[in-house]
Amino acid sequence: MNKFAELFKSNEEGMINKFDHYFEIYNRHLEKFFDKEVHVLEIGVYEGGSLQLWRKCFGAASHIYGVDVNPLCKEFESKDENIKVYIGDQGDRSFLQTLSDDIPTIDILIDDGGHTMKQQIATFEVFYPKLSENGVYICEDTHTSYDPYHGGGYRKKDTFIEYCKNLIDKENAWQSNSSKLKVDEFTTSTHSITFYSGIVVFEKRKVSKPFAIQSGKRIFNTEDFQKDTSGKIKILRFILKKIPFVKTTFRNSKILQNIYGRLNYLFSK
Ligand SMILES: C[S@@+](CC[C@H](N)C(=O)[O-])C[C@H]1O[C@@H](n2cnc3c(N)ncnc32)[C@H](O)[C@@H]1O
């Protein structure tokens, strides 16, 4: 059973405005928070219905925070239900900063506000680093990255989707030899980025450098065919190491690893 979908269907209070396929996504990434003391922030309150939906799904111990630029949304605040509403513009970083100082660490953030590129990126940059270490960040309606009305356009450099594509590089920085792509806070705190149609989900978790492991016994004395089988690289490496300058300057350096890697790839083609 999908609790999110069930509660959405039976809703007779404030209107909720979502895409049909989002409920499966919520269930997949958020079910683990049910009945926990979870702090949920939704940008985009609209008619207040979604704040109620989160509250009912996550249970009595949950704390729900809503943000909207429309002052009328303040009316959906409810002390009894641990629902707080803040009025402000999610594109304004100083407002977001003040907000984040005012509320406890957030476990779940749902960005369903104005959906412009500037707003989505500002909200992500202020709140993602502050999300709890097992938190989930959901940016909704990312199809606006293709919509000129919201500042989008196919492969336009400053869209949220293009911004996220760069984050894929950061997630993989462990394997990079480039000085332009180094392991950072995002790399060590992001377990996954999942792209759906119109929605991107980030799951946080402490991550350490990935390492390969094996099990089972060797059947053949086989070579790894992705590696240099011709021995040309081994010979080249042997010769280069004989040159004193190379030996002292580049030994174990990333530059040399890079050269070996590229030559290996060329020879194996
Ligand atoms: C799509 S509706 C939100 C729907 C709601 N989350 C739901 O599920 O029913 C978008 C909301 O974002 C608000 N909004 C638009 N621009 C905003 C901004 N710059 N900052 C904060 N909220 C904004 C609008 O007032 C509107 O209530």
CATH number of 132's domain: 3.40.50.150
pLDDT in tens, 154-171: 999 999 999 999 999 999
Residues 31, 158, single domain; the answer is: yes
Asked if the structure places residue 223 within a domain, the reply is no
Per-residue pLDDT tens for 191-230? 999 999 999 999 999 999 999 999 998 887 766 666 655 6
* 199 and 236, same domain (yes or no): no
* Same domain membership, residue 263 and residue 162: no
Say how many Å lie between the CA of residue 180 and the centre of ligand 1. Answer: 36
Q: Is the CB of 89 under 6 A from ligand 1?
A: yes
List the domain range (segments joined by +) for residue 257: 232-268
Q: Quick one: 186 and 237 in the same domain?
A: no
Decide if pLDDT at 150 tops 70: yes
DSSP symbols for 206-243: ----------S--SS----TTS--SSHHHHHHHHHHHS
Which residues lie closer than 8 Å to 167 by C-beta, 6 or more apart? 186, 190, 193
Instruction: Please tell me whether residues 115 and 51 are part of one structural domain.
Output: yes
Residues 147, 84 share a domain: yes
Global pTM value = 0.87
Total structural domains within the chain: 2
Q: What is the pLDDT of residues 169-184, one digit of tens each?
A: 999 999 999 999 999 9
User: Is 224 within a domain?
Assistant: no
Q: Mean pLDDT, to the nearest integer, of 235-245?
A: 77
In this model, does residue 231 exceed pLDDT 80? no
Q: How far is the CA of 39 from the centre of ligand 1 (A)?
A: 19
Whether residue 215 is contained in a domain is answered as no
Report CA(186)–ligand 1 centroid distance (Å): 27
- Residue 268: is its pLDDT beyond 70? no
